[in-house]
Amino acid sequence: MPLTASPGDNLLALILPAFTLGTALAALVARQLRSGMLEVLRQDYVRTAQAKGLGQGQVVGKHALKNALISVVTVVGLQLGGLLGNTIITETLFALPGVGRLMIDSIFSRDFFVVQGVILFLAGGYVLSNLLVDILYSYLDPRIRVH
């Protein structure tokens, strides 16, 4: 059914597929963020910020989190390609219309031009996600600048 016909029902139908796609990635991101934060919080500049009298929220938010997010951004950027690939399986299992379902239907009907187009679209999405990761690097770490 179209999205505009019943938005509430459509959102309810997307809960389980979104949970299926996001659970593994969320666990990986949480683990990476935890290990990054533990490593950053042991650094000298964090202890210096605490010694200056900054509150724990300022120390974590302004100093530690920004540096810990660099490895998280890397993991998310790399996992986004797998997430795009997993949508093909998820759309097929949950009978959702989408790019993944289009690709599966095109494979079965031997419409190779559509298959190539979908692969090109997914590859473009992966390239754009890597570009976004590179842009976020320069924001998170001022030492990384594009000249």
Percent of the chain with pLDDT over 70: 97
Whether pTM > 0.85 for this model: the answer is no
Nearest Cα to 141, choosing from 74, 56, 80, 89? 74
Question: What's the pLDDT score for residue 117?
Answer: 95
Question: What's the pLDDT score for residue 100?
Answer: 86
Provide mean pLDDT across the span 24-40: 91
The pLDDT tens digits of the residues spanning 60-69 come to: 888 788 888 8
Using CA atoms, how far apart are residues 132 and 104, in angstroms rounded to an integer?
A: 28
Q: Where are the alpha helices (DSSP H) in the chain?
A: 7-41, 44-51, 56-58, 65-93, 99-108, 112-140
Residue 123 pLDDT more than 80?
yes
Residue 116 pLDDT more than 90?
yes
Question: What's the pLDDT score for residue 114?
Answer: 95
Greater pLDDT, 145 or 73:
73
Question: Residue 40, class by beta-carbon neighbours within 10 Å (0-12 exposed, 13-18 middle, 19+ buried)?
Answer: buried
The pLDDT tens digits of the residues spanning 86-109 come to: 888 888 888 888 888 899 999 999
Provide mean pLDDT across the span 33-48: 89
The pLDDT tens digits of the residues spanning 45-57 come to: 888 888 888 888 8
Residue 147 pLDDT more than 70?
no
Give the chain's mean pLDDT.
Answer: 86
Greater pLDDT, 111 or 8:
111
